[in-house]
Structure 1
C-alpha cells in the first residue's frame, strides 16, 4: 500500500509550530498528505501552513489549541471533523518548566500531565477508533528516553513519558491486527528551538551531538510500520542506553498476548 493510501489523506500533528513537529509537517507535505497543524502560537503555525500549501500544493490548516486545557481533546475532534485523519503525530510533550518538583507550582505539573497523558490518550481514542474501522492508519507518539527512569528535575516529565510508552505499546498490541501502526519514537537530545532556549537561559553551550529534527521526522516515518518502539540512535535489536532493546520489548508484548489468548481461548478484540 502506498504511503498516502496507508496514512492519508490527512495527518494531524500536535505541536507543529517548530522543531520536530514542523519537520514532520514538511516531510509529510512532501509526501503528499494534507495537514492539520496544532500548536499554541498562531503566527509561526500559520506561516508554516502557508509555506507548505504553496510549496507542495496540499491542503493545510492551522489551529491554535492549548493541549493542556481541559477541552483540548474535544477541540481536536472539532478541528478534524469532516477530515479523514490517517496519521496522528503526538509531538507536543516537552517539559517547559526546567525546575525541581517542589520549586514549582503544582498547576505547572498538572498542565504537563494533562498535555502528555490526558489529551494524548483521549486523542488516540478518537483517531484510532476511525483508523481501526478503516483498517489503515498510523499513530506516532514522540517520546523521550527519559521514559525509562526518573532523574533530578525530571520526575513528572519522566512519569508522563513512561505512561506514554506503556500506553503506546498496549495500543500497538490492540491495533496491529487491524492495519493500524503505532510507534513510540523515543528521542535523545534533539536540536530544537526549545532546547536551544533552555541551554541559552542556563548559559550552557550547544552540544555537538544533537539529532536534527529533519532526521527525527524521516526516521520516525521510516520506523512507523515496525513499532511499538524505536530507541533513537539504536538498532532494533540493540539495547544500548535502554533497559531492553526495541525488539525485546516487542517480543515481551507478543509473549504476554499469547499467554492471555491461551487463557482466554481467544485472540485480540
Structure 2
C-alpha cells in the first residue's frame, strides 16, 4: 500500500515576509505578486520592460506592502547579481521564477544558433544561476520555497520549438532532484506546469485560445493555484483534470503517436492548415 502524500497550503509565515518574483510585471507573475501582497508578503519584482513593471509595483504597494523593482534582461551578463543586490538585507523566503518563454521558433537545422542559445539561457541558464545564488540562503534559513514555472510543452518534442520543449523537460527533471535535496532543509520546491493561459504574452502572440475542448486558464486562477501548490512538489500540473490528462497522454510510451498527435493540435492552435 502506498503512503499518502501530505499536502500543504500557502502559509505566509513560512515563506514571507519577502518574495522575489522573476517575470513579475504582468500576467501570472503580477497576479502572484498581488496575492502575496494580500497575504502580507512584500516583493521584489523583476522584469525586462520598466513601464509595466512600475505599474504593477504601484498596484502591489497600494495593497499595503513594500515592493522593489529590478528592470533587467535575464540573459544579460550580471543579471543574477543585480537581482541579488536588490534583495540585500531582506528576509526573503520565496523565489518564484516565472520568466521562461519561447522567444524563438525555427526548424533546428536552419536555425540561428545565437537565438537558440538565448532560449537556453532564458529557460535553463538563468533559472539555474538564480537558484544557485538564492538557494544557500534559503537552506540556511531552514524554511521557504522555490517555484519554477514549467510548461506542458516539456513533456514531448515540438516542431519549430524543439529547444524550448527540451529546455522545459530539463527544468522539470532538475526540479525533481532539487526538491529531494532541499526538502531535507525545510525548503519547499515545486515545478508548476502551465497549460494554455490567457496571458498578455499569449494574446500578443496571436494564439487561438478558443478551440473546442481546449482548457484555457486565466492568470488569476493560475496564481492562486501556484501559491497553493508550493508545498506540494516536486511537480504540480495547473488547470485541473483536462491538463492532467494531457500530461498523462504526452508521457505515453508510443512516442510516434503522441508526438504526431500533439503536432496536429499545435498547428490548429496556431491557426495553420
Q: Please say if 1:37 is aligned against 2:57.
A: no
Report if the CA contact (8 A) 2:104-2:161 is conserved. Answer: no
SS in 2 for 1:141: strand
CA distance in 2, matches of 1:155, 1:98: 8
> Secondary structure at the residue paired with 2:74?
coil
Does structure 1 conserve the Cα–Cα contact (< 8 Å) formed by 2:95 and 2:147? yes
2:10–2:229 CA contact under 8 A, matched in 1? no
Structure 1 residue 244: deviation in Å? 8.7
Q: Deviations over 1:85-108 (max 9, x none)?
A: 211110000112244334542222
Per the alignment, residue 23 of structure 2 pairs with 15
Q: Distance in 1 between matches of 2:48 and 2:250?
A: 35
* Contact 1:69–1:111 under 8 Å retained in 2: no
Q: Larger relative contact order (C-alpha < 8 A, sep ≥ 6)? A: 2
| Alignment gaps of 5+ in structure 2 | 1-8, 252-273
Give the total of aligned pairs: 239
| Larger deviation, residues 185-194 vs 61-70 | 61-70
Take 1:245 and 1:173, find their aligned partners in 2: how far apart are those partners?
24
Aligned to 1:5: 13
Partners of 2:208 and 2:169 lie apart in 1 by: 29
Contact 1:68–1:112 (Cα < 8 Å) also in 2: no
Offset at residue 4 of structure 1 (A): 2.2
1:227 matches 2:239? no
Unaligned runs of 5+ in 1: 247-269
Contact 2:156 2:250 in 1 (8 A): no
Please report the RMSD computed on the Cα atoms of aligned residues, expressed in angstroms: 2.2
Shift of 1:192: 0.6
Shift of the alpha carbon at 1:69?
1.4
- Three-state SS of the structure 2 residue aligned to 1:68 is coil
Report the equivalent of 1:159: 166
- Per mean C-alpha deviation after superposition, the further-off stretch among 62-71 and 211-220 is 62-71
Q: 1:245 to 1:96 in 2, by over 3 A?
A: closer
Q: Is the 8 A contact 1:73 1:119 kept in 2?
A: yes
Cα shift readout 1:230-256 (whole Å, capped 9, x = no counterpart): 122346xx962224999xxxxxxxxxx
Change (3 A) 1:192 1:239: closer
Output the TM-score relative to the length of structure 2: 0.82
* One of 150, 153, 161 as aligned partner of 2:157: 150
